[in-house]
Structure 1
Amino acid sequence: MKQRIFSSIFLGVLACWGALSVIAEDRYLYFTWEITNGTIYPLGFPQQGILINGQFPGPTIEAITNDNIVVNVINKLDEKFLITWSGIKQRRTSWQDGVLGTNCPIPPNSNWTYKFQVKDQVGTYTYFPSTKIHKAAGGFGGFNIAQRSVISIPYPAPDGEFTLLIGDWYKFNHRELRRRLDSGKHLPDPDSLLINGQKNAAVFTGLPGKTYKLRVSNVGLSTSFNFRIQGHDLKLIEVEGAHTIMESYSSLDVHVGQSVTVLVTLNGPIADYAIIASSRFTGPNLLTTTATLRYAASNTKSPIPLPQGPPINDVQWSMEQARTIRLNLTANAARPNPQGSFHYGTIPVVRTVILANSEAEIDGKLRYAVNGISHVNPNTPLKLADWYNIPGVFDLNTIKDVPPPEGTLPKLGTSVIGFTLHDFVEIVFQNNENYIQSWHMDGSSFYAVGFDHGTWTPDARKTYNLIDGISRYTVQVYPKSWSAILVSLDNKGMWNLRSAIWERRYLGQDLYLRVWNNEQSLYTETLVPPNVLYCGKAKHLPKS
């Protein structure tokens, strides 16, 4: 009798636990995306673009913290294709990162389904093709993550929001651009800037007196831009998933691959106001595009003079602005604990890596290198090679932690730096060239703690912001300057650290971070997905 009672209670507890598990499970969002070529007219004449479900730019994903995202990508192109999710950390799931170091590309006329969770994330992100130079033809879009209703936001709830995808654009087809790079030539200068795939045409309409959230991302290939709105201040509230101290700006620099979120209050006379994006650090070639912020019922343009951006090549202005962007220590992010509860400035650094970018000529062709190594993607994804212990794909000795001695000739190689899970690392990006750089890290956000001119030395640590440096995933490095970041590598996997400037990435300014420990646990990394694609030396492996 007692055993039957115990069994009944035990089964009842199990039933309740099962019910709670179902109730507590985070929601799923399902998408089917058909990738096709199509005719687009961003510059007023027909061009071949890459469309997602017939759209250019692609559809915006609107998610909530901890949502599970399932995207079935059907590749109708005549080339292999991948999408990467810029800024999505892929907790435990580097299998879903969508770069050549983690995934075999999707063959033409086939499909592959991404499955991942936006675990403990909030903010403004993007997605785009990671293969070849497909991004130059489209295939990109917004990826917005709202906070859960139980988590407060550190600013008044806006009355609406708009997503602005701003980037440079070429009149040349992406295949022609790729042929130029493959032949050892630089890309030409971009021909224009676009806002949501349009030049001087996009319109965003709001009600007078209301406040709107603008999610602004640089989806271009090479060009930083300055963003401003005629007659309106920009109140910065978030940078790449981190809530900022809410400062107001008349304009903001946004570098390649970066995202910012601002509040704009429609507090002027009813009119149409110009949204302006102009290129930065492009010498005498100033590119400018506009959109319209329209007050509902407006039928006239504002008479206010158009705001001027900073001088096109003024590096100091941009660097000083970057230093003012700081973390809101008391605000919640995706979780209820304040952002400032992680005291990154007190954590001992276990390793310092200094990465110096350079332009090179190898075998008579243009290449770019990091610490003397110009990265080449092997036919076998690094993640598959690592998981299955496939020899001859990569090693951990090709690229070093510091630049080689001056005069060392650059060479081709597959660049992978090995780290232990939970290493707290200092990375210095040293830019000895006359061009601005933009570096992006997959798998982790990092704290941008320092920028300055010249060559980094250990004494530069005295200038670091060790209290409220902004947490982000893409950092700019100004010409003849350095930028320093601190990062906790607490996400096991194979993670891409790359130039966000496409010419440089395509020609070798690219590497991977192997974050590893010898414990195989689902708490730190998922198993191989059952639908994983195999290629290269992994092609012979049995399907899961």
Structure 2
Amino acid sequence: MSIQMSMKCAAKDPAVLDPGSMLHFEFVIFGFAVADNKDLERHIRMKQATRILYFCLGFLALLNFSFVQAEDPYRYYTWTVTYGSVKVLDQPQRVILINGQFPGPNIECNTNDNVIVNVFNKLDEPFLLTWNGVKQRRTSWQDGVLGTNCPIPPNSNWTYKFQTKDQIGTFNYFPSTALHRAAGGFGGFNVIQRSVISVPYPVPEAEFTLLVGDWYKTDHKVLQQKLDQGIPLPSPDALLINGLKNGPIFTGEKGKSYKFRVSNVGISTSFNFRIQGHTMTLVEVEGAHTMQEVYESLDVHPGQSVAVLVTLHASPKDYYIVASTRFTKSVLTTTGVLRYAGSNTPPSLPLPIGPTYHIHWSIKQARTIRLNLTANAARPNPQGSFHYGGINVVRQLFLANTAAKINGKLRYAVNGISYVDPTTPLKLADWFNIPGVFTLNSIPDKPTNATPVLAPSVVGTTLHDFVEIVLINTEDTVQSWHLDGYSFYVVAYGTRDRPWTPEKRNYRYNLVDAISRHTVQVYPGAWAAILVSLDNKGMWNFRSAIWSRRYLGQQLYFRVWNNEKSLYTETDVPPNALFCGKAKNPLNA
């Protein structure tokens, strides 16, 4: 039997193939026939042909790989931040506009896109934006909080540069300085999957972004003055959807499904969200695909985001979209409209009823939100592992929030430390080894009975630590905690009558499919437990999402560090970095 195979690689000897030459292959395989060839000769020829084939195919694969390794797409934005007068409720008031818009423009991008946002600050005071839930991999330089960035001075600009690496989901952005968040400056930040990656639910006909939050008639600077005097903020005056008290209309066609991306952009209040005559299928929470449970209404706490699918199966007319406050003495309600295409029938009362103060109802609902372990999409927690239940915890933190008076004024403390921002950002001080800015591990790992003090509190951790954090709420209001740069697994909620004990790990923790998210609520007098893999190097803010509490000290920072100097673990200080405080001349500090 003889088999003949010939191959030509641009008329070159395959052993010394010129990488710049064109490739041309000819394969000639003749079928089985009787011949006089010896077995040895046949074996040698087959081996030679095989080597040549593998060499040429390997080189072709390498060449093709070089062609497809183009850089991920860039999306450029130029934003001008100004004050403007807008009639939000019943009278005009000063708000923060981005490119003349209230709320600001949404960012719509794909997984792995490079996002470049050039921000021009036309306010009368320094300003920063933070990207709520959008994880800046290896670069806390872009986080946009005072612990990592010098603020953008008035009448100047600064450019954020980061990548939406390995993530999809529903996020938002907002101002992180002073009490600017109470004046606007927020918007949606939606990351959709690349075309080569599927999502575990039918592709919706369209998407709607709903930014829901509480609102004050009082100017944000007056609210800030109250806090500076140690006076707690009053209850908000209203709830808004996309900056409107009533009226935003979302139109769809009967029989089709739509994705509603809903974010709580308020500064203090949880709300319940529902759509008259329709159910909602939860599909995503803050970048994590969920088990697709069906709900009539959903609680969304400060700083949180959800995405739901809604199928228009009812009679063609208009239906109310409703959000109402939770756990408040007086219930605030706002409405929008879901309109069937061609409808001439306005929505009718009564509004669908939602829960008001029912805490146990909310806890039970929260426990039903679980991670979809079979989802084939960008990982919601690239820093961690889906097998988190089998990872050894190397550090345990028990963090309790308390109200206290320091120097005669109201403050909020965590484990006895009420955070204050130094004039030099923590990240710059750490990077340039500037002394006298903060003390590492200045905050204890457990609550103490010590008198609360003012200080910049920083928890020192090592890159790749797997940490358990138990958040203990000592007060009679719902708390909400957010961690920049990460998603964490919410493994347990506890109640006032069943305080946390080590035994809870054995029978209360969900160590299989706990939801991965960046913001978690802690119910009055209760606790919540989270697990987080700290493998995003940098200085990361852990804060109350209730903004008055954060402003008065309920926050801290995680320094995630190792002694390796590598761009694979952390980028260098950006060439356009702003310098302030002791870091104005960092090389001489």
Shorter-chain TM-score range: over 0.9
TM-fit CA distance, 1:10: 7.1
Query: Could you tell me which of 9, 26, 34 is aligned with 2:19?
Result: 9
User: In 2, distance between residues paired with 1:337 and 1:409?
Assistant: 37
User: In 1, distance between residues paired with 2:104 and 2:179?
Assistant: 16
Does 2:322 match 1:276?
yes
The one-letter code matched in structure 2 to 1:482 is W
TM-fit CA distance, 1:9: 2.5
Change beyond 3 A, Cα 1:11–1:178: farther
User: In 2, distance between residues paired with 1:338 and 1:479?
Assistant: 32
Partner residue of 1:456? Answer: 500
Report if aligned partners of 1:257, 1:500 keep a CA contact under 8 Å in 2: yes
Partner residue of 2:171? Answer: 125
Partner residue of 2:539? Answer: 494
TM-fit CA distance, 1:478: 0.2
Change beyond 3 A, Cα 1:118–1:242: same
Partner residue of 2:423? Answer: 379
Report if aligned partners of 1:350, 1:424 keep a CA contact under 8 Å in 2: yes
Query: Could you tell me which of 434, 448, 452 is aligned with 2:476?
Result: 434
TM-fit CA distance, 1:155: 0.4
The one-letter code matched in structure 1 to 2:576 is N
Q: Identical aligned pairs, as a percentage?
A: 67
Query: Could you tell me which of 180, 184, 203 is aligned with 1:138?
Result: 184
Does 2:298 match 1:288?
no
TM-fit CA distance, 1:524: 0.4
Report if aligned partners of 2:289, 2:380 keep a CA contact under 8 Å in 1: no
Partner residue of 2:237? Answer: 191
Partner residue of 1:164? Answer: 210
* Alpha-carbon displacement from aligned partner over 1:166-216 (angstroms, at most 9, x marks no partner): 000000011000000001100111000000000011111111111000000
TM-fit CA distance, 1:50: 0.3
How does the TM-score come out when normalised to structure 1?
A: 0.95
Look at both structures and tell me which one has the larger radius of gyration over its CA atoms.
Answer: 2
TM-fit CA distance, 1:458: 1.1
Does 2:378 match 1:334?
yes
* Alpha-carbon displacement from aligned partner over 1:511-533 (angstroms, at most 9, x marks no partner): 00000000010000001100000
Query: Could you tell me which of 461, 480, 484 is aligned with 2:525?
Result: 480
Report if aligned partners of 2:337, 2:347 keep a CA contact under 8 Å in 1: no
Partner residue of 1:347? Answer: 391
User: In 2, distance between residues paired with 1:380 and 1:471?
Assistant: 33
Partner residue of 1:390? Answer: 434
Partner residue of 2:25? Answer: none
User: In 2, distance between residues paired with 1:8 and 1:213?
Assistant: 53
Partner residue of 1:363? Answer: 407
The one-letter code matched in structure 2 to 1:169 is W
Report if aligned partners of 1:151, 1:336 keep a CA contact under 8 Å in 2: no
Partner residue of 2:144? Answer: 98
* Matched residue count: 537
* Alpha-carbon displacement from aligned partner over 1:18-51 (angstroms, at most 9, x marks no partner): 9936753110000000000011111131010100
Q: Give 3-state SS (helix, strand or coil) of 2:178's partner.
A: coil
- Which region of structure 1 is more displaced relative to structure 2, 394-403 or 431-440? 394-403
Change beyond 3 A, Cα 1:339–1:409: closer
Report if aligned partners of 1:199, 1:290 keep a CA contact under 8 Å in 2: yes
- Which region of structure 1 is more displaced relative to structure 2, 416-425 or 456-465? 456-465
Report if aligned partners of 1:230, 1:304 keep a CA contact under 8 Å in 2: no
Change beyond 3 A, Cα 1:245–1:133: same
Partner residue of 2:48? Answer: none
Change beyond 3 A, Cα 1:427–1:33: same
TM-fit CA distance, 1:308: 0.5
Change beyond 3 A, Cα 1:337–1:415: closer
TM-fit CA distance, 1:336: 11
User: In 2, distance between residues paired with 1:277 and 1:57?
Assistant: 18
* Alpha-carbon displacement from aligned partner over 1:385-417 (angstroms, at most 9, x marks no partner): 010000011112320110013xx2111111100
User: In 2, distance between residues paired with 1:341 and 1:541?
Assistant: 37
Report if aligned partners of 2:384, 2:535 keep a CA contact under 8 Å in 1: no
Partner residue of 2:566? Answer: 521
The one-letter code matched in structure 2 to 1:263 is L
User: In 2, distance between residues paired with 1:218 and 1:436?
Assistant: 14
* Alpha-carbon displacement from aligned partner over 1:117-168 (angstroms, at most 9, x marks no partner): 0000000000000000001110000000000111111001100010000000
The one-letter code matched in structure 2 to 1:38 is G
Query: Could you tell me which of 12, 31, 35 is aligned with 2:81?
Result: 35
Q: Give 3-state SS (helix, strand or coil) of 2:485's partner.
A: coil
Report if aligned partners of 2:284, 2:306 keep a CA contact under 8 Å in 1: yes
User: In 1, distance between residues paired with 2:381 and 2:333?
Assistant: 41
Partner residue of 2:131? Answer: 85
User: In 2, distance between residues paired with 1:187 and 1:37?
Assistant: 22
The one-letter code matched in structure 1 to 2:390 is T
TM-fit CA distance, 1:6: 6.4
The runs of 5 or more residues in structure 2 that have no matched partner are 1-11, 23-58
TM-fit CA distance, 1:333: 2.8
TM-fit CA distance, 1:459: 1.6
Report if aligned partners of 1:329, 1:338 keep a CA contact under 8 Å in 2: no
Q: Give 3-state SS (helix, strand or coil) of 1:483's partner.
A: strand
Change beyond 3 A, Cα 1:274–1:390: same
User: In 2, distance between residues paired with 1:383 and 1:339?
Assistant: 20
The one-letter code matched in structure 2 to 1:104 is C
* Alpha-carbon displacement from aligned partner over 1:227-262 (angstroms, at most 9, x marks no partner): 000000010000000000000000000000000000
Taking the TM superposition and a 5 Å limit, the aligned residue runs for 1:244-259 are 244-259=290-305
Partner residue of 1:420? Answer: 462
